[in-house]
Every structure is written in C-alpha cells, then in structure tokens.
Structure 1
C-alpha cells in the first residue's frame, strides 16, 4: 500500500472542511484531486504530509504512519513558492535538501536537467519568473526520487512549452514507479495524464475513473433543432438541445455515416459539426455546476 487515508475529518472553528475522507493508492499511478477553491484540497494534502493535524482519522504512507519523519525520504510535497528564499540560488535550495537527505551533487544536477532549469540553477531566486520558480519547486520535489509525489498546482505560471515538458516528466516518473497525486484546476492537462479523479465536494470525495464515462459526442449546429431531435430519436440516435441552434449528439451504436444519412433523408442542413470528448471538464460541470467555481 503506497497511501492509506482513513476517515479524515477536519474543522476550522464551526466550519467542517473534511467529512470522513478516505483514499487508498495500492500501486504507482497518477491520481488527480479536483475541486473548487475552498473545498479543502490544500487541507487534505497538508494532512497527508503531516503539516496539518486532522481532528479524526489516520494516514499511512508505505505502510508506516505519516508522523514518522523517516518516511519523508520517500515522499515529496510540492507546495507554492512561499517556501522559497529570494536571496538564495536555486542550487542552494537543492543542496540543502541534498545535505539533509544525503543526495549527491550528480543527482541534484540530473533532477535540474530533467525539469529544464539548469541554465538558471545558480541565479538567485529573487530574479526568477513565476515559471522558473515552479521549475525549482518541481525539481526540489523530485530530487529525492520519491515513491509518492504530491503536487499542488504544478502547472501554475508555466508557458505551454514548459507545461508539456512537465506533463511528459510526470508520465515518465510514473512509469519509473512513482505514485503521483496531482491537485490542479487545469482540467485539460489532467485529462492528458490520468483518468483517475478524486472530486472533492462538500468535504467528501467522489472517486471516479473517467475512462468509464469518456465518450465521443458531436456538437451540431442546425436549423430547427427540436425537429432534428425528433428525426434522430426515431433512428435511435440520442440528441440534446444545448443552446440556440446547437445539439449534442451521442451516436451510441450508430456510425457517423448513418447520422448524416438520416439527416440527409430528412433534408436537414448541418451548419457546423465539432467532435467533443466527454472528460474531466464535463464531469466537473455535472458534479459542481458552473465551471467558473474551480478557478
């Protein structure tokens, strides 16, 4: 067992943030933690890493209590850049970790190269951009080659090129045997690395394998959408009126050619068609409502 979280409860004053949350990760995989701001994601991650004490419940990592300091030789938690010191260089931060955990200079340089920050490794952090700070935080998190890697918004402030590189790195680390918990509001990036999602709502987890929900649908723009819904329904093709002249069409067992044949037979003019994949963003909206709540 890589991670066992059992019955975690946490309140701040009269506000109950977590209501008996449980998580189990048995093998190296990437798991996404998703929820609106204020839903308790950071509190939960803080409890897992023993930075916050729960009111009730327990956490075990690699079958040992998370209160055992030795366990953090095998666990890393990437937090926000408030943990960085402007007057130190990136290398100074990494060397401190190396001194504490007995990590060689070669291992430090290798981690920096994997993230892509070797060119500014010896600059003071006060001169870093937000993206450079994110690179340093990630390098600090992977330098000890952890068995469990916990990341809180790792893509924050990254340009598209850096985001792609980080995504590839996470997939590489996972293939190498690292379990990863990824908290992020970037749902499109989550879909690229995992289908295992933990939605945190009202202090409770809704655990889903999105591969069970994932399906391809088509967004059609047509005239007289209500008429078209009836035409498709008669052919066993599911269609929903989304907005104005747009329909969401799920083919089921039908093919795309059968769809167009049915539309052509009834002289339906398709003004536009776009392919849609139902993923974490759509499931988020189904669970939480407005997408804006995640920001």
Structure 2
C-alpha cells in the first residue's frame, strides 16, 4: 500500500476560478475548507457545478486561478493520486473483463490487496457474479462493481457522484453502512439529489445555480 499524507484529511478550495472555458467559468472565487472526519453532501440544481467540483477534486481539471488542495497537496499533482478516491456517475467498465478481473485490476492500480475487495463484493451480493463479464451484469451490479473498483483504496478523501443510481435495496443499504463507517475517520463528499434513509451528513455544501 502506498504511503499516504501525514496531514489530517482535508480539502481546500482557495479563490478558485475554474471551468471548461476561461471566458465562461463555472466557479469564480470559490473558497471553502472541509476537514475530516465526516460525510458532506454536495447539493445544487443541475448546472450548478457539482460535476465540475468533482473533476477539480479528481485532478482531471485544473483551475485557471487559485488552488485545490487535498490534505495539503495540489489536487492535480501526481502526488495527490493516492490521497483521494473518485466515483463518477457513469460506470466505465471493460465489457469482456470479468467482475473479478476488474477488482484485481483496480487493486493493482491502487497498490492494495484484492482480498478486502472480494469481501466487500460479498457484502454487496456481487459474489455470485465475479466470473461474469461486465457486459452481462445487470445495471445494478455494474454500479456495484464500479463503486468497488473506484474505492479500492481507503484514501483520506473520497468523492462519489450519485452512487445510488440504479442500485438495488441491498446495495443501497451496504453503501449507506460503508459511508457511515468511512465518515468516522475520513472526509467523504457525496453528490446526491436525494438521500436514502439512514444517511445523515454532518453538513451540506449547496452550490447555487
């Protein structure tokens, strides 16, 4: 497992100007700070910048101005890779690879063990489908596999975008339990229009449209 930052888990946006066209930024002078532990909900209407915020945390998108830091490390720097987990809305799976192969690939990429992922797969009732190609999985099981692959490493910061979409009741319950567990020691950001029963974020960051 890679060496993680000794900084307490936290996320900082400092005077961030960001978007996909500098002339039409999604965010201008966005500043806030969040510290672990806890579950934080990111809310706002369509077009308010929730997905853009995720891409800034992911490091895929760098701000035009200002800084996004994860536990003191610039989010779009290579050093931040093992400080965060990112689960985007749409699963991006290899159709012919089995569920087990996806988990093994994720574990290798994240330099962590496969056994914990296989144990989680059982809790999500994905165990009977581990040898099935991703293309043959139901929408709900694809969602479970994507979630497990994206959260293979227990990073200090995690951000998930609508992870409950298409998931069955058992999967939702398993994820609610994991989010509560992670939030005891980590900073977890959840983008969700609606929250399932039993999920209680400590605070909500509301992005205005």
Asked if these proteins are the same fold (TM beyond 0.5), I'd say: yes
The residue matched to 2:199 in structure 1 has which SS? Answer: helix
Q: Which shifted more, 28-37 or 69-78?
A: 69-78
| Matched residue, 1:99 | 108
Which is bigger in relative contact order (C-alpha 8 A, separation at least 6)? 2
| Matched residue, 2:55 | 46
| Matched residue, 2:196 | 189
String of CA shifts for 1:24-62, please: whole Å, max 9, x gaps. 122211000011112111011101111112221111111
| Matched residue, 1:201 | 208
Cα contact 2:103–2:114 (8 A) shared by 1: no
Paired with 1:155 and 1:197, the residues of 2 have a C-alpha distance of 18
| Matched residue, 1:216 | none
Aligned residues, how many?
200
Mark the runs of 5 or more structure 2 residues left unpaired by the alignment: 1-7
Mark the runs of 5 or more structure 1 residues left unpaired by the alignment: 203-295
Q: TM-score, normalised by structure 2?
A: 0.86
Q: Which shifted more, 47-56 or 156-165?
A: 156-165
Moved over 4 A (4+): none
Paired with 1:183 and 1:126, the residues of 2 have a C-alpha distance of 26
Quote the offset at 1:178 in angstroms.
Answer: 2.1
| Matched residue, 1:268 | none
Quote the offset at 1:12 in angstroms.
Answer: 3.9
Greater per-residue helix proportion: 1
Cα distance change, pair 193–134 in 1 and its aligned pair in 2 (3 A): farther
String of CA shifts for 1:66-121, please: whole Å, max 9, x gaps. 23323222311001334211111122222112222322232331332343322212
String of CA shifts for 1:146-188, please: whole Å, max 9, x gaps. 211110001001233322221122102222x1210000111x4
Paired with 2:83 and 2:16, the residues of 1 have a C-alpha distance of 22
Q: Does 1:66 align with 2:109?
A: no
Q: TM-score, normalised by structure 1?
A: 0.63
| Matched residue, 1:269 | none
Q: Does 1:86 align with 2:95?
A: yes
Q: Does 1:25 align with 2:18?
A: no
Larger Rg: 1
| Matched residue, 1:173 | 182
Cα distance change, pair 116–180 in 1 and its aligned pair in 2 (3 A): farther
Cα contact 2:143–2:166 (8 A) shared by 1: yes
| Matched residue, 2:16 | 8
Paired with 1:178 and 1:100, the residues of 2 have a C-alpha distance of 21
| Matched residue, 1:123 | 132
Quote the offset at 1:122 in angstroms.
Answer: 2.1
